[in-house]
Structure 1
Amino acid sequence: MEDQHTDDAIGRNTPPALARGPEPVRHWRDVFWLTVFVLHLILFGLVLGLLGLNRFREADRLNLDKFTKHNAGGSSESTTEKYWPIYGTAAGLGALIAWAWLLFLCRKGNQMMKFSIHSVTTYLALVSVFCFWIGEIFWGITCAIGAVLQFLYVLSVMDRFPFSMLVLRKAVKMLWELPEAAKVSYGFVVVMLMWMVLWSFGVSGVVASGIADGARWWLLVIFSVSLFWTGAVFCNVVHVIVAGLVTLVLIHGGKASPTMPPKPLLRSFKYSVTTSLGSVCYGSLFTAAIRTMRWGVRAMRSLIEHNECLLCCVNFLFNVVETLVRFFNKYAYVQVAITGKSFNHSACDAWELFQSTGIEALVAYDCSGAILLMTVILGGLLTGTCAGTWAWLRNKDEAVMIGSTAVLMGMVLVGLTVVIIESAVTSLYICYAMDPSLINQWDSEFYKEVREVLHQRLQHRSGHDISSHHGVLTSMGLSI
């Protein structure tokens, strides 16, 4: 009787099912940011090509050293091809790790996620010791701080891991039903590798140049930011494609449903690389940084909840970050895939939807995104360590430069495969918030477990008094 009452409540209080009517015409969104991204690719591509060519097979082929302080840093006789093979190996290794990561995550998801969680701290500590041993004090301290922060974060969210693992397992289950999602991911890995050929060519020229160390580091930072943005755009294009595919499957009740639009993957791909590409470029600039800040602030709140003075300061920072999250969050990509709205509009819609239905309590409790980030970081560390070790054996002076930039290459490539799992997770949450029956008809056991955890989180937030949330609970199919 209770289940029947729950189903009736869902039917009465949830919004109408999505996307079952005619598809509206989509307009180009955030065109300014799309233009900026394309111009950035053209400009950086030209600069990278020139810097790489200047040292290719001949030192200072284009006579660019006259614009720098000659011989102030690297060897003036070094050439691009001395370092390019190392970066090529790093890219190949990153792609291999990315392929293996996704394969094992889909087949042995629980074990791989636990391995990533516990390995990042240990690996950072080992890298820190190695950096101290070779005299790189700054990087040794940086890695040590990273290891400590990672350890503290894991301690602060340990109780959330069971639910987060459940969500990740269900996301993997969804992807098993959609093997084309993995093909999209691997396709974009290939495209990213093509861009990395040019990027590593130019960066190898920078490392080989005679520019002062400080100037070389600044150039590497600038080019790394460019690679990060490019990689983030590629990742989020995949995110939008997979989100569009997953939501269509959930909305229409399966791939074989007669109401399913023809060629759903092609449909989702078309929108993500045309009308919605500007929104992806815009969101990719900010979402990763803001998400990382949010995880850090939440971890700090958990660790100092009994210190009122510090908690007051952290709460102020938390409110600032939460305001930013309203306009920049990963759930916006699902809304972009569904509605084709601008990024900020989609982000606000997603956040207001979560706030109005109470799902925000569940999203805040879930740390599946952080777990996936740990797998990305571990993949990057493995790639960077291998590249850095090879460079150290050949020339100790440039080992840290090459290793640190190779870490980013590995993270980007692994991120391109892991993002399909995150896309499935975000799509499940958005669909649950819009219409819980979509999740119920896909996996009733998962629906019940999510409903139970949501009930607990709302109780926790209201101090075990949920009378004020009666309307929310009813709309989400919960009984008091």
Structure 2
Amino acid sequence: MSDSHSSSSDSASLAATDQNVGRSRRIGNGDQTLTTDIPRHWHDIFWLGVFLFHLTGLALALAVLGLNRFKKSDRFNFDRYTTNTTGTVGNSHGLTEDYWPMYGLGGAVGTVLGWAWLLLLGFQANHMMKFSVHILTTYLAVVSVLCFWSDHFFWGVTFAIGAALQFLYVISVIDRLPFTMLVLRKAVKMVWSLPEVLRISYAFMLVMLLWMALWSFGAAGVVASNINISGRWWLLVVLSLSLFWTGAVLCNTVHVIVSGMVFLALIHGGQEAASLPPNSLMKSLRYSVTKSFGSICYGSLFTAAIRTLRWEIRGLRSKIGKNECLLCCVDFLFNLVETLVRFFNKYAYVQIAVHGKSFNHSARDAWELFQSTGVEAIVAYDCSGAVLLMVTLLGGLITGTCSGVWTRIKWDDDRVTMVGSTAMLMGMALVGLAMVAVESAVTSIYICYAEDPLLIHRWDAEFFNQLSEALHQRLQHRSSRAREVLTQNRLNAGIQGLDCKEVRRIEIKSVGICIYSGTAEWQKSVEWIPKWPDLIDYLG
């Protein structure tokens, strides 16, 4: 048994080393290829048009909704359409300017939190991340109690469920946090070595604030309107979805810009910004807001939702155990989400920045790159995106709490939850714009490690060794899990005649699972088995 384990460990280590060498040889002249100004073309123009049309139409609607009750009640005589059949109105009090300052407070708090968080990460990244992970559950629970205390039962239940899900997720990934914190520290180090990246994040936060000034003007008009409660909530949901898409577009635009800068810095050995080619930032900015903007708008519609769903399903699946009925249902959802991830993932933005491809092409190429090199093993193990999302959620909750408390001091009805929930979304968008710079550095590091590991080695040799060791451990873990599956089930449909006791090495590759058995340099029996999504998931 010890000989088998030793040979498995040695072969996994050898395979990881061979992968690094092979990728370095494959890239070869990576410095020359990646720094050349490749011709770029417009992509996903349809979605660019949809986003601009949506933005223009919404701006007009927001202006009308806000002006309707700005300094004058029912300026455009909309009340004749909002009167109920009983002759009463849903809300007969308030003007736009009564609620607009509360949204202004939310914007100010969100901006301060985003700037402060980005600055503090440069000094105490590890402590700040740990604080966010552990405090979010407590904060959600406290907000839930406050909602129950103020007789907002629905919101109390919502935040209680959120606190429970957050707690279960942290418990399910607690063993992954040390590696995640390592990657985040290195990403913060990279971001702080490029002052232009920080300035880009701050600039886009100001752009977002300008749009939020108009958005909150319209939202305040909705809260103050005479529409019944359900009508006002539906309008706020539509406005919130629009703000979510707009915020995601701005975040992913920053993602593309920062990815281009980080990739360029790694090509130049991870040196200071002064050593980079001139006008690098302006070129990256120009590409992201012109020829690549359609791809950004397209990806922003789906990527965040799919990624969040994938995290939750992965965390749930790891805690199910052997409940076959529940496992079958979760497997179905997982396979569906995994299929979507191949075409909608955040690593596409690095490919867009570096190679100027369309979004779906970029997402597919990034995923195939990870699968073919085995780097997908540590990408799946990393939780940096989830940790940064927790920071964003915490910032949004603090923002919503500040605006909600001020509203509660003046009024005591549904307007508190209306203002508080929408202000929370504003805070999330602003803090997310600050955090996306770090997330972009993480994605760029993984793409660079998959394409040419020597880029990471030249930048930080110690970090390269830590990544390689983590990759070796994950591949070894997957091999041991595959051996367990083979031993228990023997997979009769695919490997009839193969003695599971003779299995010496198992490799997970993009085309399937390669099983080597026998003692003569693994030449006795080689079986190729088609890729089973459930087995790949079971391997972790």
Q: TM-score, normalised by structure 1?
A: 0.94
Report the equivalent of 2:433. 416
Secondary structure at the counterpart of residue 193 of structure 1 = helix
Secondary structure at the counterpart of residue 467 of structure 1 = strand
CA distance in structure 1 between the partners assigned to 2:82 and 2:135 by the alignment: 42
Give the total of aligned pairs. 471
Q: Contact conserved, 1:74 with 1:207, CA < 8 A, in 2? A: no
Report the equivalent of 1:27. 41
Report the equivalent of 2:256. 240
Secondary structure at the counterpart of residue 27 of structure 1 = coil
Structure 1 residue 322 corresponds to structure 2 residue 338: yes
Structure 1 residue 467 corresponds to structure 2 residue 505: yes
Q: How does 1:46-445 map to 2 (within 5 A)?
A: 46-69=60-83, 74-255=90-271, 260-397=276-413, 398-445=415-462
Match of 1:39 among 37, 45, 53: 53
Aligned partner of 1:456: which letter?
A: Q
Q: Contact conserved, 1:15 with 1:434, CA < 8 A, in 2? A: no
Seen in structure 2, the aligned counterparts of structure 1 residues 9 and 320 have a Cα distance that, compared at 3 Å, is closer
The CA deviation string for residues 24-71 of structure 1, in whole angstroms up to 9 with x for no partner, is 211111011011101111000000000000000010011122222268
Aligned partner of 2:171: which letter?
A: L
CA shift for structure 1 position 445 = 0.5
Report the equivalent of 1:476. none
CA distance in structure 1 between the partners assigned to 2:275 and 2:37 by the alignment: 13
CA distance in structure 1 between the partners assigned to 2:59 and 2:273 by the alignment: 45
Is 301-310 or 456-465 further displaced after alignment? 456-465
CA distance in structure 2 between the partners assigned to 1:407 and 1:297 by the alignment: 25
Q: Contact conserved, 1:74 with 1:208, CA < 8 A, in 2? A: no
Report the equivalent of 2:30. 17
Seen in structure 2, the aligned counterparts of structure 1 residues 471 and 16 have a Cα distance that, compared at 3 Å, is farther
CA distance in structure 1 between the partners assigned to 2:284 and 2:263 by the alignment: 10
Q: Contact conserved, 2:345 with 2:363, CA < 8 A, in 1? A: yes
Seen in structure 2, the aligned counterparts of structure 1 residues 385 and 256 have a Cα distance that, compared at 3 Å, is closer
Higher Rg: 2
Gaps of 5+ in 2: 1-13, 484-503, 511-540
Seen in structure 2, the aligned counterparts of structure 1 residues 104 and 260 have a Cα distance that, compared at 3 Å, is closer
Q: Contact conserved, 1:192 with 1:413, CA < 8 A, in 2? A: yes
Seen in structure 2, the aligned counterparts of structure 1 residues 20 and 219 have a Cα distance that, compared at 3 Å, is closer
The CA deviation string for residues 317-367 of structure 1, in whole angstroms up to 9 with x for no partner, is 100000000000000000000111110000000000000001111110000
Q: TM-score, normalised by structure 2?
A: 0.84
Identity of aligned residues (%): 60
Seen in structure 2, the aligned counterparts of structure 1 residues 159 and 394 have a Cα distance that, compared at 3 Å, is same
Gaps of 5+ in 1: 473-480
CA shift for structure 1 position 148 = 0.2
CA distance in structure 1 between the partners assigned to 2:114 and 2:17 by the alignment: 45
Aligned partner of 1:422: which letter?
A: E
CA shift for structure 1 position 460 = 1.2
Seen in structure 2, the aligned counterparts of structure 1 residues 72 and 334 have a Cα distance that, compared at 3 Å, is farther
Seen in structure 2, the aligned counterparts of structure 1 residues 74 and 90 have a Cα distance that, compared at 3 Å, is farther
